[in-house]
Structure 1
Amino acid sequence: MKKNLSLFCALMLVLISCSGEDSSLNSSDVLMKKKVVTSTGRDNTIEISTTYYTYEGKKLVKEVGTNDSFFDNRRNYDYTKKYYYTGNLITKCEEMSGTDYLTVTELTYVNDKLKTMLVKVGYQNGVIIYATKTTCTHNDDGTVSFVKVNIDRETKVESVLENGKWIYANGNIIRKETTDKWGSRSEVYEYDRKNGIFRNVTGANLLVGNLIFGYSGFGYSGFGYSKNNELKMTVTTANSNATFTHSTIYNYNKDNFPTFGKFEGNDESTSIISRYFY
């Protein structure tokens, strides 16, 4: 009897262990169609953005964002991003507001690994205000080194803005180390074991470094990839020896994709709530 009970307990432990493993995440056809963000700040203002995603198969081809409030209610801001593929590789993204090009992002690859990301920031009639270029080096140990430069609009001379390294584990960036003119900085990331919102998008897994396309990426949009969902980010700056922590809690659907996320900063004075629809 004791032997059978021990065997039963051991079997239950195995089943519980397996139920938490990544192998259960096999919902390969789920694609996010809409994201709604609500942000509450110190002054109790509420900013709401809604982003709609359009696909051809599993390729993301268009993203449309509308904001009810932007930059402290000074103006509304709507945008459209169009994504272009070469085969299964995302090679270009055009971001527009009305008829104005905000950004044009061009990507190149070597052996299906991201090599360069050129971001041209424009204004009316496509006139370029400035441009940056990030060049990646994929190292033998699985890390990715990068150098980001500014390209002078007139002389085309490049000047280094920052350089650093992305360190990966289990398909996620777990540490980012950068150095720029203000000093060095490290970002440490922690993740859940569920499905990241863009996990099934064709070509998204090649966007190393959680790179985000376009001007509207901060706070409202963004097509950065991670296999799972970020739970916590800890930022440490060497020059000030200061540490900041951001955390997010999620609710999930039956396919282990997030339906709700609440992001809070270090002092909890601002929270951002995201709702995801599939």
Structure 2
Amino acid sequence: MAPDLAVTSKELVDELEHKILSGKYTVGEMLPSERRLSEAYSVSRSGVREALKILGERGLVTVRHGRGTFVTDPNAGAAGAAIGNALRRERITARDVIIGRMAVEKESAALAAEARTDADLELLDRIIEGMETSSAILDRVRADLAFHLALVKASHNPVFEAMFRAISGFTAEMMLRSLSDRAVAEVGVPQHRAILEAVRQRDAGEARRLVEEHMAVAIERYGPDLERSLDTVAERELQRVLGPTGSLEDIWRVADRE
């Protein structure tokens, strides 16, 4: 990337992530300082810190205070994020995401019913409580995404986790569409507790069935939005609920935090 080209914080994340995953920055290597990255990419120092924080949350770097930022071994989150960035170039629709989520989440839920721990159940309980008490739309999206990620992680299968993370940004966009539509939310939100109870009771078949039923709500109720570009739908909903300042970066930031 040309050093005199100004980029956004998210674009800096994508650029550094590509260099790390491609091996240009190797495990254990120290990244350039915040000042050098700021100058090279024309990003504010706060924007650089934001980008490094996101990379840290993805498991790509570790910040050692007083020493610098170092590349770490990629984990499932990093692998998923890299695939997600590649998919971002495609015209992904809500139907595409639903089919992908069904493939991953139905089997993850069934496996979670067999492999879940008490800690997994406690986390899922807390997330649902937060989902039910949140009023701000992005907080509700964050809680919804956290529930589904925790459900996938309760399967204790890192492949499922990486696959879910690959579409987590699109999933967050889809959740924004669902939660801002009362007809969808009134049916979909209560289903989370039913899914959790099936997992709690170690009923793999019921957990699988309930996840499929949960995904079918969008197919039944999205109408023409089902076949539209999900980015376009999400941007429309963001501007409707947040005003003209709402942008896709708001929803991507939610996904990056999980």
Q: Same fold (TM over 0.5)?
A: no
Structure index of larger Rg? 1
**TM-score, normalised by the number of residues in structure 1:** 0.25
Higher strand proportion (structure 1 or 2): 1
Higher helix proportion (structure 1 or 2): 2
RCO (CA 8 Å, sep 6+): is it higher in 1 or 2?
2
